[in-house]
Amino acid sequence: MNFIKNNWFSEIQDELWPGQMFSLKIKEVLHKEKSKFQDIQIVETETYGTCLILDGIIQCTSRDEFSYQEMIGFLPLCCHPNPQKVLIVGGGDGGVAREVVKHPLVKEVHQVEIDERVVELSKKYLPSMACGFENSKLKLTIGDGFEYMKIHKEEFDVIITDSSDPIGPAVSLFQENYYKLMKNALKPGGIVCSQGGSFWLDFDYVKKTMDGCGKHFAKVAYAVTSVPSYPCGHIGFVIGSLDPNQNFSEPVTRFTKSQIDSLNLKYYTSEVHPAAFALPRWVEKHFYK
């Protein structure tokens, strides 16, 4: 399917989000290819900057990416008392790595991304995100996150899954047995945080992912952020902890406003953190009953 017509890109996904679409006016198609794993497009938009599109789905735009990258990184890191060793699964644009390496307690970051072409193209066209790959704390492996998880035991304090949506190569990263593998790859008290979809669009799917997580983790929650270029302008994270006393909405590491500024955080603050876990009543009743 050609998603670009008359200089407009339209995110038409009848399977995932039937009956709706988000469109962006395009200035230029910067790159287009089919990699071993997916269809990759990078476009320059009129109002959202540079945009990475995989299999016809917007992954990030340079205008609003920080609200996603900062939140998926800092929510779990600030819930963990000592997040020294972190694993990122997916995240081929480099934006999550850029955020995670900033956290003062993080010493080592491992990342496993399935598609090296996403990394290479992000370095060329999205340098403000791909700068995450240049940090000396980061070690990048090209491979499947699901397979990688099978061979790592009690190694990480925090695992962040920044995956594409549950079609194509990312399907396995939403399944219950992925949560089981992540549990085994974590040290005691470890925390996972995954791209979990939006309650507006994926209501039952989010609940199913939370239930899958809950079979292996003592505490599970769902947090939200707003990202205008994602469907409904909204996305959430499924977060799980092995610590039965975990209270996700109280960060154990807090930052003053001047620390927030020196970390160059634009969305995450110690006040935004608890607010992200506050859910509308109809959602709360469904997710936590």
Binding site for ligand SAM (CB under 6 A): 54, 59-60, 68, 89-93, 112-115, 118, 144-146, 162-164, 169-170, 172-173, 195
Residue 215 exposure: Cα atoms within 13 Å on the Cβ side = 13
Name the minimum Å distance from CB 32 to ligand SAM. Answer: 16
How does strand 234-241 pair with strand 186-197? antiparallel
Name the minimum Å distance from CB 66 to ligand SAM. Answer: 11
For residues 164 and 241, which CB has a smaller minimum distance to ligand SAM in the complex?
164
For residues 65 and 255, which CB has a smaller minimum distance to ligand SAM in the complex?
65
For residues 66 and 146, which CB has a smaller minimum distance to ligand SAM in the complex?
146
Q: In what order do the strands lie in the sheet with 39-45?
A: 4-5, 8-10, 23-34, 39-45, 50-54, 57-61
Residue 162 exposure: Cα atoms within 13 Å on the Cβ side = 31
Give the pair of three-digit tokens for residue 223. Answer: 């947090």
Q: Are residues 231 and 198 in contact, defined by beta-carbon separation less than 8 angstroms?
A: yes
For residues 145 and 240, which CB has a smaller minimum distance to ligand SAM in the complex?
145
First to last CA, the chain: 41
Name the minimum Å distance from CB 285 to ligand SAM. Answer: 26
Name the minimum Å distance from CB 197 to ligand SAM. Answer: 9
According to DSSP, residue 219 is labeled: E
- What is the number of residues in the chain? 289
Q: Name residue, tokens 């899954």.
A: 161
Name the minimum Å distance from CB 101 to ligand SAM. Answer: 17
Q: Tell the burial category of 223 from Cβ atoms under 10 Å away from its Cβ (0-12, 13-18, 19+).
A: buried
Find the largest Cα–Cα distance for the chain: 54
According to DSSP, residue 84 is labeled: -
The catalytic residues are 162
For residues 175 and 259, which CB has a smaller minimum distance to ligand SAM in the complex?
175
